[in-house]
Structure 1
Amino acid sequence: MDLFYGETLAVKSARISLRRGEVAAITGQSGSGKSSLLYCLAGVLPVARGEVRFDGRVLGELDDQELSALRRERFGFVFQYGELLPELTIEENTALPLRLAGHRKAAALTAAGEVLSRLGLADLRQRRPSQVSGGQSQRVAVARALVHQPAVVFADEPTGSLDSANATAVLDEFLSLARSQGTAVILVTHDVQVASRADSQYVMRDGVLSVLAREAA
């Protein structure tokens, strides 16, 4: 696939495929195009040439409503700084994808509580994001991304704002939970140690994606 920003070719000749439950890491220097590629794969940015397919559907052929439903129901997202809603409790933040998908409040909060418990956050359910640490906030972001058991989670530098101890703990919990429920993960990171935890590793250089390593199916 190719992606242009105005006249600038930001991503070129990128090719990537993902199996159920697979974790793929994309590394590269700042400005290499790795985050742009991530948002192309998630259907947030349109591609200029080529196509992105999910479950046999070409994302470029879907209208805005269909794309929104796909991202809401089948995809999950984790960002570098968590991006939690400050006015909601930890439990409500986690339940948000289920509520947006039309689940009843009680059922959504129950599911959120179960995921938070698996991540060691059960005691924080009624706190606000401002009342928890950075590591805890990022665990909540992971819980929110996985609560609806999406097919794919797109993670953009999910441990980039954490110290090494918290980064390791969050990554351990994130990948363990994702793999246990068969969720694939596309992980953008500048950290080669984080990338080494993936099943497949890719590198972006000047918008070109190359395969570093991939485990056999």
Structure 2
Amino acid sequence: MDAILRATGVELCYGSQRALSEVDFALSPGEVCAIMGSSGSGKSSLLYCLAGVVAPTRGEVSFDGVPLHRLGDDELSTVRRERFGFVFQYGELLPELTVEENAALPLRLAGRRKATALEAAGEILCRLGLAELRQRRTSQISGGQSQRVAVARALVHRPDVVFADEPTGALDSANAGAVLEEFLGLARSQGTAVIMVTHDASVASRSDSRYTMTDGVLAGRAEV
């Protein structure tokens, strides 16, 4: 199967410091991939390059056959908004919005009518066991619930790829396992590919494939 996301010879330097070195990577549609590594290994830098948030110093990242560097700023923003989803370690929800408004945000940014976006958000929140919290502010829910809202926001617009940076790193083990199961189950049911960066072997074990990053070097792909 052709890769939906591919990196070829990617290097990233911050001044004189090299964060990534000659990285090759490929992600198939619907695949769940884990990139493991310790803090400072370069795995988050790779995630941001793959998502088009940071441009590599050398090499190329392509999505759906199109090199990201060939896209203008508006085109790249549209790809990230409509075809990518993001889950961060601490959720990064907007406190001024309700749970359902946070979950609906990608659809609203894509121009969907408010009622339509909120209906779609309600459906996915229900699947994540959050139906009764739709009208609450994010300050009124727990950490595990906040991360489920972040998952809903990442998946509500049925993106092609979700980028997850330590998606359960801020949760206790019980909540982490439950959130991860719900996140990956929902992504797989939608056919959404997922890239997770993590230092946790138990998280990586839920993926279809796994890479290991050390000092900016990505080791070869292994099937899980």
TM-score range, shorter chain: over 0.9
Within a 5 Å distance, the mapping from 1:102-181 to structure 2 comes to 102-181=111-190
> Counterpart of 1:102 in 2: which secondary structure?
coil
- Give every structure 1 segment of 4 or more consecutive aligned residues whose post-TM-superposition deviation is greater than 6 Å: none
Identity %: 73
> Counterpart of 1:12 in 2: which secondary structure?
strand
> Counterpart of 2:25 in 1: which secondary structure?
coil
Q: Distance in 1 between matches of 2:172 and 2:68?
A: 36
| CA offset digits 1:127-155 (Å, max 9, x no partner) | 00000000000000000000000000000
Equivalent AA in structure 1 for residue 44 of structure 2: S
Partner of 2:100: 91
Equivalent AA in structure 2 for residue 128 of structure 1: R
Q: TM-score, normalised by structure 2?
A: 0.95
Equivalent AA in structure 2 for residue 9 of structure 1: R
Q: Give the superposition deviation at 1:9.
A: 1.1
- 1:182 corresponds to 2:191: yes
The one of 188, 194, 212 equivalent to 2:203 is 194
Q: Distance in 2 between matches of 1:91 and 1:196?
A: 31
Q: Distance in 1 between matches of 2:138 and 2:209?
A: 33
| CA offset digits 1:139-194 (Å, max 9, x no partner) | 00000000000000000001000000000000000000000000000000110110
Equivalent AA in structure 1 for residue 79 of structure 2: L
> Counterpart of 2:144 in 1: which secondary structure?
helix
| CA offset digits 1:50-91 (Å, max 9, x no partner) | 100101110011111111000000000000000000000000
Structure with the larger strand share: 2
Equivalent AA in structure 1 for residue 186 of structure 2: L
> Counterpart of 1:2 in 2: which secondary structure?
strand
Q: Distance in 1 between matches of 2:65 and 2:99?
A: 35
* Structure 2: unaligned runs, 5 residues or longer: 1-9
Q: Distance in 1 between matches of 2:29 and 2:203?
A: 20
Task: Rate the CA distance shift 1:212–1:55 in 2: closer, same or farther, 3 A.
Answer: closer
The one of 64, 83, 96 equivalent to 1:55 is 64
Partner of 2:110: 101
> Counterpart of 2:222 in 1: which secondary structure?
strand
Equivalent AA in structure 2 for residue 112 of structure 1: A
Higher relative contact order (CA 8 A, sep 6+): 1
